[in-house]
Structure 1
């Protein structure tokens, strides 16, 4: 609904600022913190979720699993029944808290391939090649590993290799080396093919994320306001200029106005939903929802991408897996004591301890599959670790061809949007996932891993043919939690956002979060989201 229908007397309060940032996720926290460095610029940061600065489960790396199962800071999104996954609806956890998904994720810190960003530039996101992005990647981090021209040394986000590698992770690395893979010196360097310990965004055994490392130090600045627990209802416009947003505060509706710019940073799901609720999207869909079209932008909500995975689970000999610790009172005490004493041990690790990027298909010019070693087994994070000793590694496609959509369910901002991931829609994705599972089996058969593995649980020994493997993937596979691309940058007519992150067709509005990614990076997307936040702040400062 256009802004003119909202009268000032209908709201409980009216606030004005210079820059209004909507969404305190990985990118939004960076933007607000960077822009508030200028004392002459007033910045307001709006977030639907709470502030949780003291929650120990956010700070403890292994706490990600508890946060997942509790749903405490989760938007609780689910896809529609997926045709390619036997009609299963997939849970898509997204962070609803100051810090966003970066406060609750598995702490894996991988930029992806340098070629990923060159592909962004080639697709129409001019000025986003790897060489363009590298200074911002470096500026946002302090890398604890071997110095290199690729890594930062003085940024807010602290990154390091895993401080703890279990016997299973060591065997995983040794097995990949036995297959001929190289030991990677730095997965975030110029070339990432090979195996090694997982890089994590952890500082001295504690999660290092944008809310803590960028935003928290800025809270004392008088020109910065951080306003949690304020779900965004829609954007406000005067003509074709975005002037602010309507949000629901503790005492009722609030009107927040921006003298200079509004930055929408609500994530790959929230951003297209808010744009459509504000009359920006495919006109036919908006009309169907009863929303007056302000700007026909059919690319909003399209181009949805996500990494897909298949977990390969194994029952193993006792080898200090989390399963063993978790189901023993003494084991739990030992884990906690080790973490309390020196911030090491299983509680100091996020979602994975080791990583492999491999070329699986013949003729692949670069790695097309990623394997993440996890020192426990779960059927679902909701149920916790299995009772038997076990570990698993996830086979993940680096660059899926399948594309999905985000659309509105209704014009009510409180209704969750309709998410259609369309997993395995593309024939290439189906073929690569099958070959990826077969390659994972070869990895598991190598001596270092074979010496520990007692039984393959998934896929299971009865699953042999390509058809049987694909059927199992459809029954069991799921998300790697990397949705992106739903308001992509580009020069073509379907790209809603230009290369300086401005929403085309309106004034005063930028988009800066994972939704602007033209193509999903080859691995985890958190570093790319942080980098987008850094670049957005630079664009705004430049005017």
Structure 2
């Protein structure tokens, strides 16, 4: 068995959170840090070209290849559930959208008893990690590890969609990241000059020059070793061969909403009934592990259009594809620099919501599902997701074998409130598409189809065309209550020397894309970890 050595801190996962932690903790030369990443190096060309997410999701070189169990709310469909398995984690395969959410999200956490997690507390942490292309002010900053830029393209049909939103009382704004994201704007993205930025580029690789930081790829954790009520090390495999690592300080799980609860359960931390089912002895009983799964379900409405250029036409010929490739090669702009979604809109599905409860991702293209060819006809996709779903799912091990995929049940649209928001969202989309600003493009509803009208039929249609927008959170819930998985300092309850630092700790999902909040969580965790170290905790 290979012995990797003794370290002050071992970080499991080199994704958005793990890379930030590695950078911040190893900044102290007296701290010896080990980072374990189950995937490989980020030397695959399609990681770095923005449109390359099409070739990274579902690719075992960069993606765990998870899928959900059949979902009743999606009319029995199972969804692919991409999660990054490479240095940089999900930041290497995601949609590159920089989105903090709403101030009310974090103030709600504070109101749940989580001291230090309100908007005023976390805004400085967002700024600390940011390298904004233009601003250095109360809300934004330059010089951090996360590069944020404007997109390098524009589409007339998307500009018209913004005009149509304005006709419906949704204003045009310049910035989604000021605490109130009501309005429409082009998404700001984690890119640098038309090339994908990743957490590995911004945080991990600069830190890898330090002699006190060790990074091991191909390292999959089997279980946490515990002694006298404390986590003391890990059993794992490195490129398939048995290995072990020991921690004198803490073990930090940053394996995401799927991986972190899986490792806890494999180690005997979780619901005794689930553990016993797979022959695992309970070390710490906590039925909350793996529960509270939340995700944003995007309802992908598609409208055929006329008199408009969309990506569908540009890619239907070799000449069009060659032109796209040449533009990117010469200018790092055009469709190959595109994030999966270009235009964002935050709105209310009805007036009872105090803050926007739905988010649109508008795309000048259409297709049946990711990875398949674009449609032959010109069209746009107006995906809309419920930002704060009431439906809750779970992620639990399906086997004691760490190589086996866990069971993922998101339970989309299981809450009646979510079904109502889904129906109202489709109606709102129809009102926007029927606006004067879009009339010259003669939009015709392709999906779900104009004959679908009742609440029940619209909710069923949402189940037919809805899919994940890749934002799973909450499975290692942070809480002030003893039933939570981690406390407000992200320490796993019932055992010392163990924390979880990733999107799984969110008690409730943020109102927007989750990459930036995940990095913020890591920034806060690193400050707490170093403070506890100084205090001798």
Q: TM-score, normalised by structure 2?
A: 0.96
Give the 5 Å matches for 1:417-456: 417-456=406-445
- Give the secondary structure class of the aligned counterpart of 1:396: strand
When residues 260 and 310 of structure 1 are mapped into structure 2, their CA distance, relative to the original with a 3 A threshold, is same
Alpha carbons 2:122, 2:520 under 8 Å: kept:
yes
Alpha-carbon distance change, 87 to 457 in structure 1, aligned in 2, over 3 angstroms = same
Check conservation: 1:407, 1:417, Cα contact below 8 A.
Answer: yes
Alpha-carbon shift at residue 208 of structure 1 (Å): 1.6
- In the TM superposition, what are the counterparts of 1:235-246 in structure 2 within 5 Å? 235-246=224-235
Counterpart for residue 3 of structure 2: 13
The whole-number CA distance in structure 2 between the counterparts of 1:47 and 1:239 is 27
Residues 69, 172 of structure 1: alpha-carbon distance in 2 compared, 3 angstrom cutoff: farther
Alignment of 1:401 onto 2:390: yes
Q: In the alignment, which residue of structure 2 is the partner of 1:362?
A: 351
Cα contact 1:305–1:484 (8 A) shared by 2: yes
For residue 40 of structure 2, what is the aligned residue in structure 1?
50
Counterpart of 1:25 in structure 2 is 15
CA distance in 2, matches of 1:65, 1:33: 29
Partner of 2:535: none
Q: 1:46-445 counterparts in 2 under 5 A?
A: 46-52=36-42, 54-68=43-57, 70-250=59-239, 252-317=241-306, 319-445=308-434
Which residue number in structure 1 is paired with residue 31 of structure 2? 41
Deviates more, 1:323-332 or 1:496-505: 323-332
Counterparts in 2 of 1:372 and 1:390: CA distance versus 1, 3 Å: same
1:20–1:453 distance in 2 versus 1, CA, 3 Å: farther
Distance of 1:238 and 1:275 partners within structure 2: 15
Residue 163 of structure 1 and its aligned partner are, at CA, apart by 2.2
- 1:61 deviates by 1.3
> Hey, what's the Cα distance between the residues in 1 that align with 2:179 and 2:79?
34
Give the CA deviation at 1:477.
Answer: 1.1
Contact 1:286 1:293 in 2 (8 A): yes
State the 1:384 CA deviation: 3.0
* Distance (Å, rounded) in 2 between the aligned partners of 1:252 and 1:283: 30
Corresponding position of 1:503: 492
Tell me if the contact between 1:31 and 1:534 (Cα under 8 Å) persists in the aligned partners: yes
After TM superposition, the structure 1 stretch with the greater mean CA deviation from structure 2, 455-464 or 227-236, is 455-464
Task: Name the CA shift for 1:251/1:313 in 2 (closer, same or farther; >3 Å).
Answer: closer
Residue by residue over 1:84-110, the C-alpha shift from the partner in whole angstroms, topping out at 9 and shown as x without a partner, is: 111111111111111111110011111
Provide the C-alpha distance between the structure 2 equivalents of 1:264 and 1:254, rounded to a whole number of angstroms. Answer: 18
Partners of 1:202 and 1:208 within 8 A in 2:
yes
Q: How many angstroms apart in 2 are the aligned matches of 1:19 and 1:317?
A: 58
Aligned with 1:258: secondary structure? strand
Unaligned runs of 5+ in 1: 1-10
CA distance in 1, matches of 2:469, 2:164: 24
**Secondary structure class of the residue paired with 2:247:** strand
| Cα distance in 1 between the residues matched to 2:23 and 2:287 | 32
User: Over residues 71-90 of structure 1, what are the superposed CA-to-partner deviations in whole Å (9 max), with x where a residue is unaligned?
Assistant: 54111111111111111111
Give the CA deviation at 1:137. 0.2
Task: State the superposition RMSD in angstroms.
Answer: 1.4
d(CA) in 2 for partners of 1:75, 1:59: 19
Q: Which residue of 2 aligns with 1:460?
A: 449
The list of structure 1 runs, each at least 4 consecutive aligned residues, that deviate by more than 4 angstroms after superposition, is: none
Most deviating of 326-335 and 40-49: 326-335
SS in 1 for 2:149: strand
Partners of 1:209 and 1:447 lie apart in 2 by: 40
- Which shows bigger deviation, 40-49 or 454-463? 454-463
- Aligned residue pair count: 532
Q: CA deviation at 1:320?
A: 3.1
Cα distance in 2 for partners of 1:508, 1:212 equals 29
Q: Greater CA deviation, 501-510 or 116-125?
A: 116-125
- Give me the whole-angstrom Cα distance separating, in 2, the residues matched to 1:395 and 1:279: 39
Gaps of 5+ in 2: 533-537
